[in-house]
Amino acid sequence: MSIENQSQEKLKYRLEGLSCANCALKIEKAFSSEETIGETSLNFATQTVYLPPAALELAQRIIDRIEPGVILRPINQLSKSLEQEENSSDIKWKKIRMLGAGMLLAIGLILPLLNINLPLALEYTVFLTAYFLVGYEVLYTALRNITKGALFDENFLMALGTIGAIAIKQLPEAVGVMLFYTVGEYIQDLAVNRSRRSIQALMDIRPDYANLVHQLDVQKVAPEDVQVGQLILVRPGEKVPLDGEVVNGSSFVDTSALTGESVPRNMEKGDTILAGMVNSSGVLTVRVTRPFAESSIQKILDLVENASSRKAPTEKFITTFSRYYTPAVVFIALGIAIIPPLIGMGTYSEWVYRALTILVISCPCALVISVPLGYFGGIGGASRQGILVKGANYLEALTKVKTVVFDKTGTLTQGVFDVVEINPAKGFESKFLMEITAAAEAHSSHPIAKSIRESYGSAIDQGDIEDYEEVSGKGIRARIKGYEVLVGKAVLLKDSGILIPDEEHGLKGTLVYVAVSGKYAGQILISDRLKVGAKETIRALENSGIKTVMLTGDHQTVAESVAKDLGVGEFHADLLPQDKVAWVEKLMSGNSQGKVVFVGDGINDAPVLMRADVGIAMGGLGSDAAIEAADVVLMEDQPAKLLTAIGIAAFTKKIIWQNIFFALGIKLGFVFLGAIGIATMWEAVFADVGVALLAVLNATRVSRHTSLEI
């Protein structure tokens, strides 16, 4: 079930205090196995999950069984921030315990070096006190899990390994392993919380208040309390709290929070302004057009925060792998402890020590935690570049792109049209041709229609339009001043049996054909301009081995001219919306080894955006259709952002596989060294805690490397 569907039936909850990635997987699995909860996805990076309110008590019982101390709270009733958690009494007490255990361990190790031998009872007292200071939580959790039939987790492994070490009188190593494990878990928690605070930093684009204009007074209120139609005041330096229309004032605004670009944008009366923009200079009065819950910024925040719930294939593989990996190592360790002594290859104490070392090594934390954090780093880094990726699965899909299909108008070209030629047929005048065409296009939102109305330049009398019908993908049929008028593509006129002259070749623009009362009345040539960076983007894709295709509803001659200017490898023209879908399906069927990406404007291309392996909406700033239909949204209207998105995806995947091979390589290497008696428990701690910490730190590199190109 998708996050969107879940959010309709379930409420969002925060799992306060959840820092164990392996425990998060267990909780998610336990939730999903309960019929009253249903299939759900726990987002470890943001500590959130969607649950039915009626199942809240059941969910908390599951959490208490798996990870006591984690509290389930509604998202709007959080008791602490991450910063408060780090400075809470529990954290301070943990620091004191680690420091005390470290001092006792140091005393127990240093005194023999000074030729001071402690009595056996005192030696055990020193080491066991240190051991229980840092290990009692691990021991308690392991014992509780055993009583519930949950073996083979990190607590069980650490408890078994260190208790075994005590049993064979390796007290310093037992204390050292437990101490370093606890310190490593603490440092790992700090690294995870830093990643979460980077998410919170992104969340800082959420406006805190709105200045509501109330008669002659201005009141500071929560953005959620402002109603559609009310006026708000946005002063210099303030974040725009809600989407709206500027009704008074002018100013430059910073759109970087939404688009990743810091170029200021001028806002004047009548302009649409979006929540999350920052007012730079003048005072603006804005009429609110959407409630906060439906604002652009809230949709962006929801997308970013929920993106980690859509797991990539690599993430799912590691989750499955970790379930079999730990039990396998436990049985290997058991075999090492029993079989060699039975066949006379050494003493039981020697082989038991080696087996205990392997148990310490086998904790799966490094694998489990680094992969989801790596993907979230990539998603977060992309969002700061104005690239919204709806899930880790789409981020990974971008690393397998073999074909990129572009829409033309509004994607590769600016979609800003100019009338460059008016060619009336014999018996018709240019003025009449423009007047009748502008009237026919009066209700259309298409950029070409807008350019015709602007070129006409006069007011259109709506009373002249007696009938109006849009013919999908072909044009407009209308009755104006008693005339039956057809305006659109050549096929529209041909379908009505109207003869048109031979079409000219080499045209650099779009021809709009006009018929009046069954007679061909003329044609209007509309030109478009290439977007800045479009040609360079096509060249970079082709040079990297990615095939480029352009699909357009424009005439063959226009499409050919644009394709030649851009350097597109393949193009198809005269297409209806359903034809674009068919072409993408054809490309997908012939491209089984790679992914097919479609890049469109997100408004007219919703069907094909949804059909492609990855649908990318270009210039989706404020576009509901873009955010809903696409898998990736490029908020800034720049084709080069596609290169950045693919680059971030490639870097993210590289880091994640580095972590996987690094963690597995080190762990399996130490398992071998432990089995042959070379690795000690001291060294095994690095194979567990050290590898986990390094993997987490490596994963955080993704969020810092955002200016990437293929």
Report the C-alpha gap between 174 and 196 in whole angstroms: 33
Report the C-alpha gap between 61 and 77 in whole angstroms: 19
Report the C-alpha gap between 98 and 91 in whole angstroms: 11
Report the C-alpha gap between 429 and 437 in whole angstroms: 12
DSSP state of 287: E
Smallest CA-to-CA distance from 395 within 658, 696, 24, 656 is with 656
Report the C-alpha gap between 154 and 166 in whole angstroms: 18
Report the C-alpha gap between 38 and 24 in whole angstroms: 16
Helix boundaries (H) for 385-528: 392-397, 430-440, 447-456, 490-495
Report the C-alpha gap between 218 and 212 in whole angstroms: 5
DSSP state of 710: -
The token pair at 203 is 């969340």
570-572 and 475-480: which strand pairing?
Answer: unpaired
Is residue 617 classed exposed, middle or buried when 0-12, 13-18 and 19+ CB atoms within 10 A define those classes? buried
Helix boundaries (H) for 385-504: 392-397, 430-440, 447-456, 490-495
SS (HEC) of 320-385: HHHHHHHHHHHHHHHHHHHHHHHCCCCCHHHHHHHHHHHHHHCCCHHHHHHHHHHHHHHHHHHHHC
Q: How many CB atoms within 10 Å of residue 608?
A: 25
Smallest CA-to-CA distance from 511 within 490, 485, 492, 528 is with 490
Is the CB of residue 522 less than 8 Å from the CB of residue 556? no
SS (HEC) of 653-694: HHHHHHHHHHHHHHHHHHHHHHHCCCCCHHHHHHHHHHHHHH
Q: Which of 407, 554, 631, 688 is catalytic?
A: 407
Helices (H) and strands (E) in the chain, counts: 26, 25
Is the CB of residue 322 less than 8 Å from the CB of residue 25? yes
Radius of gyration of the chain from its Cα atoms, rounded to whole angstroms: 32
**Residue 407 annotated as catalytic:** yes
Is the CB of residue 220 less than 8 Å from the CB of residue 210? yes
Kindly list the catalytic residues.
407
